[in-house]
Amino acid sequence: MEEQPEETGSAGREPEPGAAELSAGIPWAGLASALGAVLVVVFAVQNTETVSIRFLWMSGGFPVAIIIAVTALATAILTAVGGVFYRRRRVSRRVEREELRRRRERP
């Protein structure tokens, strides 16, 4: 009887450590973001007064709701951009460590 070679498809491989935690369960980050967005909207709607703003040589009057919305949006964008740079740096460090480990293992 002839043995069949083992297939190397993704179904036959062991999942990576920590992979189950990333894809299963409640998406807490999404829920927290949605709750934060709802709280910002409620806060902005309740604060509709116009306020005077002065920054460097510029000044003007804006509704508090607009200021809150712009600040929340800028914070979300800056946080996302910071996260991208952090992940890229972490991945490059991991690649460097693996390359160093491979070089040390070679005779």
pLDDT per position in the chain (107 positions), as tens?
A: 554 444 444 455 555 555 455 556 677 777 888 898 888 888 888 888 888 888 888 888 888 888 888 888 888 888 888 888 888 888 888 888 888 888 888 76
Going by C-alpha positions, the residue among 75, 98, 78 that lies closest to residue 86 is 78
CB atoms within 10 A of CB 50: 13
pTM: 0.52
Strand partners for 52:
61
pLDDT (0 to 100) of residue 24: 61
- Separation between Cα atoms, residue 94 and residue 87, nearest integer Å: 11
